Amino acid sequence: MIYVVFVEPETPGNIGFLARTMKNFGLRDMVLINPCQLENDSYYKAMHAREIVSNRQEYSSLEEFIKINKIDFAVGTTGTAGGSYNIPRIAVTPENLAQNLNERGNIALIFGREGDGLTNQELELCDVVVSIPTHDVYPILNITHAAAIIFYELFKTEKDYPVEEIDEASVEEKQDLIRDMNEVLDHLDYPDHKKKNASTVFRRVMGRAFISGREAHTLKGVFRRIKERI
């Protein structure tokens, strides 16, 4: 089970936005630690995730929540990651977390206050700390933006992308396109070294590209028209 924990939220609307983000990624269990007074704005901003707000749990402290729910693995978040000597704030990226989380029983993803985040004492209660690399110009993310990035990294390790119905172009189809490109180059007044470079570039682009069989068929038709015009 994954709990999403919001420590001392200061804005009712952010509670609703967090619920909405949770539902986007299939998370249901919201926990609020010593929250502000919930208002209609919490439910309004939650949109179709109002039940997450309604079914929330509330605790007076993070320690109380961790103890009562027998949390096996607590993940803290911080916008100000520390270096090697700031042990409470030594952090991994969301991608690192997702790759190494696996199944650990009861998991808590813990987000701090909108203004000050989690304290060092609260981070010391966590088994791992996550920080999202951001630009120095404005490094601190809104809680729901940070949550969406972390939820996405966890979610994508479990859910297949909906590409199973796309017919990927075969190696032979890609080779056909490379041959078509080379035939076009043969008809152009290109110096040999430029022709070789252009052929290499196209071959490498095709090697990196994910294209469908339909896309390959369309490109094949384009090359045919080009060769006819030439």
Tell me the per-residue pLDDT of 188-210, one tens digit each, with 9 for 90 and over. 888 888 888 899 989 888 887 77
Percent residues over pLDDT 90 in the chain: 58
Confirm whether 148 is domain-assigned. yes
**Is residue 164 one of the residues assigned to a domain?**
no
In this structure, the answer to whether residues 55 and 103 fall within a common structural domain is yes
| End residue of a domain, out of 156, 179, 197 | 156
Same domain, 22 and 134: yes
Domain membership of residue 14 as a residue range = 2-156
Question: Could you tell me if 73 and 179 lie in one domain?
Answer: no
Helices (H), 69-170: 94-101, 120-123, 143-156
Whether residues 146 and 220 fall in one domain: no
50 occurs within a structural domain: yes
- CATH number of the domain to which 97 belongs: 3.40.1280.10
SS3 of residue 207 by DSSP: helix
Question: Does the pLDDT of residue 84 top 90, yes or no?
Answer: no
Q: What is the mean pLDDT of residues 59-80?
A: 93
Average pLDDT across the chain, whole number: 89
Using CA atoms, how far apart are residues 8 and 36, in angstroms rounded to an integer?
A: 7
Cα dist. 113→117, 203, 207 in Å? Answer: 4, 51, 47
For residues 151-156, average pLDDT: 92
32 confidence band (pLDDT: 50, 70, 90): very high
Domain assignment present for residue 163? The answer is no
**Count of the separate structural domains present in the chain:** 2
Torsion angle of the four alpha carbons 115, 32, 6, 34, in this order, in degrees rounded to the nearest 10: 30
**Sign of torsion, CA 198 199 202 203?**
negative
User: Does the structure show a pLDDT above 90 at 69?
Assistant: yes
Residue 125 lies in a domain: yes
Same domain, 50 and 137: yes
Domain shared by 107 and 204, yes or no: no
Backbone angles phi, psi at 173, to 5 degrees: -65, -40
In this model, does residue 163 exceed pLDDT 50?
no
Q: What is the pTM of this model?
A: 0.73
pLDDT of residue 154 exceeding 60, the answer is: yes
User: Does residue 133 sit in the same domain as residue 200?
Assistant: no
Looking at the fold, whether 41 and 129 belong to one and the same domain comes out as yes
Q: At what angle do helices 171-187 and 192-208 cross, to 10 degrees?
A: 160
Which ranges constitute the DSSP H helices of the chain?
Answer: 12-24, 40-46, 50-54, 62-68, 94-101, 120-123, 143-156, 171-187, 192-208, 213-229
* Long-range contacts, stretch 57-62, CB < 8 angstroms, 24+ apart: 57/29, 57/30, 57/31, 57/32, 58/31, 58/32, 58/33, 58/34, 59/31, 59/32, 59/33, 59/34, 60/33, 60/34, 61/33, 61/34, 62/5, 62/7, 62/33, 62/110, 62/122, 62/125
On whether both 63 and 139 belong to a single domain, the answer is yes
Instruction: Answer yes or no: is pLDDT of 151 > 80.
Output: yes
Helix axes 143-156, 94-101, angle to 10 degrees: 40
Same-domain check for residues 138 and 180: no
Same domain membership, residue 185 and residue 152: no
What's the rounded Cα separation, in Å, for the pair 17 and 227? 55
Measured distance CA(26)–CA(158) in Å, rounded = 11
Instruction: Name which of 29-43, 116-130, 200-214 the model is least confident about.
Output: 200-214
